[in-house]
Structure 1
């Protein structure tokens, strides 16, 4: 993943869902600063309280899977940016759909990652979505 200059990005509005914004913040921080970014961990701690470990560890696993499995560059915006890239929007859509519409989520993830077989990344994505939902923070696209 790379942070692209904001002038080169096609942007969408930030999602209204607080949980999606928490995911997006951690996604951006870990994408830019690595899996052990303290700011991302602190955001997860503040968002989830004592139950932060499972979502944080699964988020790290997802980021590692995405980074190692993708064959294309995934554009992420800087953390402070108030709009999202199409790649970030696609990831949020996958997270919102993965439990209800796994086939559609798999196709969208395959397009995002530029590969045919996305089973491992889809499993990681499903685990992150479930961890958020189990902790009372379901990720919605809206």
Structure 2
């Protein structure tokens, strides 16, 4: 008789609730869409257009740059849930925490980025995160948790 693996509980795979901050939700949506469908995903672009209006290009470009930096520099898997999930993975929560604190608590954000990517050379990805957070803040939409 073969034994089936134990079921994975949702609270283990998706331990965090969705953020209350609408700006963090835009980033989470774009991260999930780009992670699953590529950097040129039209729905992610539409989400930025809807949220930012005519000023959507800078945040969208910087979101794409951050996702490319994360994918190119990660030495460990970064878990991203499907868009329909009403909870977040630990990796998604860490990335949002990085974006929320990169401008005010840079060293803490650096340590989180090092853990997220599984390496100690994170300057490029951290700069991309800082630029994205600044783009949101410049439009009056700071990322908070």
TM-score by length of 2: 0.91
SS in 1 for 2:83: coil
Query: Which deviations, in whole Å up to 9, do the C-alpha atoms of 1:16-67 show, x marking residues without a partner?
Result: 0000000100011001100000000000000101100000000000000000
| 1:26 corresponds to 2:40 | no
Q: What is the aligned partner in structure 2 of residue 98 from structure 1? A: 102
Query: CA, structure 1 residues 115+78, in 2 after alignment: closer, same or farther (shift >3 Å)?
Result: same
The answer to whether the 8 A contact 2:14-2:87 is kept is no
Give the greater-gyration-radius structure (CA): 2
- In the aligned structure 1, how far is the partner of 2:42 from the partner of 2:86? 21
Alignment of 1:74-113 (within 5 A): 74-113=78-117
Cα shift readout 1:91-141 (whole Å, capped 9, x = no counterpart): 000000000010110001000110011000000000000001101110001
Task: Determine which of 11, 17, 22 is the counterpart of 2:15.
Answer: 11
The structure with the greater share of residues assigned to strand is 1
Q: Do residues 45 (structure 1) and 49 (structure 2) align? A: yes
Counterpart secondary structure, 2:88: strand
| TM superposition outliers: structure 1 runs of 4+ over 3 Å | 5-8
**Which ranges of structure 1 fall in alignment gaps of 5 or more residues?**
none
Give the superposition deviation at 1:6: 7.9
| Contact 1:30–1:36 (Cα < 8 Å) also in 2 | yes
1:130 matched to 2:134? The reply is yes
Q: TM-score, normalised on structure 1? A: 0.93
Unaligned runs of 5+ in 2: 1-7
